[in-house]
Amino acid sequence: MNCRSSMAILVFVIALSLGGCAPYWEHEDVRKEVAALRDRVQKLEQAATKVAEDQQERRDKLQTCIQVEADQAYWDYVKLNGRPVAAKPYTYQAPSYVWEEARKRKLDKVEECKLLYGR
């Protein structure tokens, strides 16, 4: 082999190693690293999905609490302190302070719902 062909091979080997190609002994390491990164991405995606599901569940509970439980607290107080109107089902008669207190209880329940389920 002459000097030129030896030099050409040397330049080729140097170019190959500097050109971004991993030597054959590093391929397994790269595969392992890619597999580890895929696992990590999958775990992060699962965690993000779980967080989204938990947030949706909290929103649903908040909505139910505000619409049902707060309204129930209002009407429970009115039923307890008011009088049903004859011949008019689901209609109650009460002094204004009863209606005001019922409204306050409903607002208190809404705030409680926000503390329990809101963020």
Does 7 have pLDDT greater than 70? no
pTM of the model: 0.60
> Can you give the pLDDT at residue 31?
86
Does 21 have pLDDT greater than 60? no
Tokens of 110: 């809404």
Closest CA to 71 of 110, 100, 114, 101: 110
Q: DSSP letter for 117, please.
A: H
> Using CA atoms in the order 35, 41, 43, 48, what is the torsion angle rounded to 10 degrees?
-170
